[in-house]
Amino acid sequence: MSGLTRTCAVLAGAAMVVGTALPAQAATPAVVHHKTYENTLTAMHGEAMAHASYHFYGEQAGYEHLPKVRALFMKTANTELHDHFTKEARLIHFVRDDAANLRESIKGEIEEGTQMYPRFAKEAREDKDYNAARLFTEIAADELKHARYFAKALYAIEHHRGEIPEGPTPDPVKVVAGKPKVHSARTLRNLETAMHGEAFANAKYTLYGEHAKARSPKLARLFERTAAVELTEHFAGEADLAGFVHRTKENLRKSIAGETYEATQMYPSFARTARAEHAYKAARLFTEIAGDEAAHARAFKRALKHLHHHHHMARADS
């Protein structure tokens, strides 16, 4: 039996021991219509990706000795996760009880560890992007470890036996502005797909940890440590290979475009759909967030204008 097969067998056994299947995320709540539910999930994925992106854009601004821009990116990242993502998750009851959150997490980690990442690694090898193949293989192994940690925690809380593990220790990857380090367009697309998945995992595990904190600090710690790995190791490693982070001016331009799209197109469209479905609470939330995103775009534009001004002043003085 191979190591991967053995791991899958162990995880399957863990699911059987606790007497449950590993279901998908919560069914659509009756209070939110199907299309609005789907739109909310789409929005949550966007907010998670914005949070992760701005985190590393902020670090890049710090490397360029731009502390005000760094602070702006970090503040906006915090809003995307702890305000927008959190409110959207609350709207559709995304966070459930601890056991359900663990089951959903196990399912996701197994899918990534046994299906998505092995496929990405195979394709990267075919395209001779061996650095990406190694990274995908390494992350696949990490995800299966995460699944084992979550399976042990699920057994502990449901059977009141055993210990909730501390979980993984983050080993942060430094991401600096640069070009892609892969050759294949397919590998680049797979890196971007994986980054979106890691950003979402980071965000949802953050919420799962906050939910668990009052009842089980150890479980909260497990979710927090896993969330940190997803962002500072997995997303970061993929971003480095993809050349995702640019110099700060270009990062600001990308951010302005993204925030403008969300403020003027995506969220207004979602709000119209919600009103048509009589999901007025969702419509109000989407309208509120659209206003926030417009404010973010304005703040990023001011920062970019300020950088251009200082650049021209520096050239004039030289």
The whole-number average pLDDT for the span 101-112 is 98
Question: Which of 53-62, 65-74, 91-100, 302-311 is predicted least confidently?
Answer: 302-311
Q: Which of 234, 242, 228 is nearest to 181 (CA)?
A: 242
| Cβ proximity of 48 and 202 under 8 Å | yes
Across the range 225-232, mean pLDDT stands at 98
CATH 3.90.1570.10 given to domain 30-94+247-318:
no
**What pLDDT does residue 10 have?**
43
* Both structure tokens of 224: 């927090």
> Which residues, at least 6 apart from 206, have a Cβ–Cβ distance to it below 8 Å?
81, 223, 224, 227
The predicted pLDDT at position 33 comes to 83
Count CB-CB contacts under 10 A for residue 278.
10
**95-246: CATH topology:** Ferritin (1.20.1260)
What pLDDT, on a 0 to 100 scale, did the predictor assign at position 272? 98
What is the rounded CA–CA span in Å between residue 278 and residue 242?
Answer: 42
Report which residue type is found at 184: S
Q: Identify the three-state secondary structure at position 20.
A: coil
Decide which of 14 and 190 is more confident. Answer: 190
Does the pLDDT of residue 197 top 60, yes or no?
yes
Lowest average pLDDT, out of 24-33, 95-104, 216-225, goes to 24-33
Q: What pLDDT, on a 0 to 100 scale, did the predictor assign at position 309?
A: 72
Q: What is the mean pLDDT of residues 174-201?
A: 98
Q: How far apart are CA 196 and CA 190, in angstroms?
A: 10
**What was the pLDDT predicted at 310?**
66
- If phi > 0 it is left, if psi is from -120 to 50 it is alpha, else beta; for residue 243 that is left
Residue 97 token pair: 């009880």
**d(C-alpha 178, C-alpha 240), whole Å:** 8
Q: Distance from CA of residue 74 to its chain's centroid?
A: 15
Query: For residues 60 and 70, what is the distance between their CA atoms, to the nearest angstrom?
Result: 8
Give per-residue pLDDT as tens, 146-159: 999 999 999 999 99
Q: Are 85 and 97 in contact (CB under 8 A)?
A: no
Residue percentage of the chain with pLDDT more than 70? 87
Residue 258 token pair: 């993204």
H/E run at residue 273: helix 267-276
* Two domains, one topology: 30-94+247-318 and 95-246: yes
DSSP string, 236-271: HHHHHHHT----HHHHHHHHHHHHHHIIIIIHHHHH
Q: Which amino acid is present at 239?
A: A
Distance of CA 90 to the CA centre of its chain: 17
Confidence check: pLDDT of 12 > 90: no
Using pLDDT thresholds of 50, 70 and 90, give the confidence band for residue 312: low
Domain boundaries, the chain: 30-94+247-318, 95-246
CB atoms under 10 Å from CB of 292, counted, come to: 18
